[in-house]
Amino acid sequence: MVFNRSRPGETLVGVRPGRALQALGELLRKQDLDPFALFDAALGLLIRQFQFDHALIARLSDDHLDTFWWVAAGTGAKEPVEVQQGLRLCERVLREPEGCLALGTVFPTEGGPWLQAFAGAVLREGGRSIGTLAILHSQPYAFCDGDIEFIKSVAGLLGRALEIENLRYQLQVAQDTLALSTAVAQDSTLESHLTGLPNGRFLEVWMKGHLHHARRQKETLALALWEWTGPVPSPERIRTVAHSLRGDDLMVELSPSRCLLLLPHTLEPGAQNLLDRIRPELDNPPTGATLWLPDRDDLLLNAAMRRAEQARKQALLEGGEGGVHWKFATLVTLDP
């Protein structure tokens, strides 16, 4: 999950470091804590304290670091690609015995041509490393011992906030999973009476349980949409194809002549291979396909479905057997 923030949500200009840390600590102790407000405030404080260009939180997932939250200084801040360049140095932070690293001058081979100064500290949860806090600058900087202690103090506060956010997320996933299981067990209207495939109502429930998790884990979802313009294959043939899919894949009947195929954590080549296998069994209906991107698309599949429908119409115009037309998202980043 990547949240792109161009400025902090709460101003702390003119506040002494000790008082600012106290304010952050008071925010952390709130029972109704919004961790994201704390992330904004803490990263904004670091940028103002050191007059740096970027501050970021990188979270450790599956043994690699991903940018979780970042704040940039001013309107002249660099684009997020510079934030991504800092991840290589964040990996060094994790290997440091003291759990921190300060480089007043960064070699181009380590940080790229832009990054000139870097400091970071490990974020911990119950003694376990869960990520890093880092600040980045385009000019060299002379760090002192007090600077490092200040960064480590902020890292300690943010580690606690991440722990709270993780617990909340795990609870939400459990609730969504339970809601999905309960709905399937209690509501027979979630499947087609003709084919037994999940229907549009099931899709609504499925999206609640899956897409939040997919965005957080940065999982790409492939989807394909087709509509038979001639005779529809028999329900038995459609069921056979649906049952042949992988465990996480989902075929949804949107109408008696219209189906949607959802392929979690799948990119274009894998989706195309699967479509090449199953479409002959379904009389090769003209098919539109796209990728749902976790950092760009909405959580209701609205934009992705529009692209898939546009691609399906294009496939219909092109005609011929084996027609699968792909349409991809433009490079627009969602607000969190």
SS3 250: strand
CA–CA distance, 290 with 221 (Å, rounded to integer): 9
Length of the chain in terms of residues written? 336
For the chain, the domains span 3-170, 188-326
pLDDT of residue 28: 60
Predicted pLDDT at 272 = 94
DSSP element (H, E) containing 331 = none
Instruction: Name every residue whose Cβ is closer than 8 Å to that of residue 321 and which is 6 or more positions away in sequence.
Output: 284
What confidence score (pLDDT) does residue 254 get? 94
Question: What CATH number has the domain spanning 188-326?
Answer: 3.30.70.270
Give start and end residues of each alpha helix (H) in 98-255.
Answer: 108-111, 145-186, 200-216, 235-243
Q: What is the pTM of this model?
A: 0.50
Question: Residue 202 has what pLDDT?
Answer: 87
Q: Please spell the DSSP secondary structure of 275-324, one letter per residue.
A: HHHHGGGGT---EEEEEE-TTTS-TTSHHHHHHHHHHHHHHHHH-STT-E
Distance of CA 269 to the CA centre of its chain: 21
Q: Which residue has the tokens 């709905």?
A: 183
Q: pLDDT tens digits, the chain, 336 residues: what are they?
A: 233 333 333 333 344 555 666 666 666 666 555 667 778 888 888 988 899 999 999 888 767 788 888 888 864 444 456 677 788 899 999 999 989 999 998 877 776 778 899 999 999 887 788 899 999 998 999 998 888 988 998 998 888 777 777 767 666 666 666 666 665 555 557 888 889 899 988 898 888 778 877 887 788 999 999 999 889 999 999 999 999 998 889 999 999 999 999 999 899 999 999 999 999 999 999 999 999 998 788 888 999 999 999 999 999 988 755 589 999 987 443 333
Residues 135, 133: Cα–Cα separation, whole Å: 7
CATH topology of domain 3-170: Beta-Lactamase (3.30.450)
pLDDT at 83: 75
Contacts of residue 52, defined as CB under 8 A and 6 or more positions apart, other chains included, come to 46, 73, 117, 135, 136, 137, 141
Q: How far apart are CA 20 and CA 103, in angstroms?
A: 24
Go through 9-29 and write b for each residue having 16 or more CB atoms within 10 A of its CB, e for each that does not.
eeebeeeebeebbeebeebbe
Q: In CATH terms, are 3-170 and 188-326 the same topology?
A: no
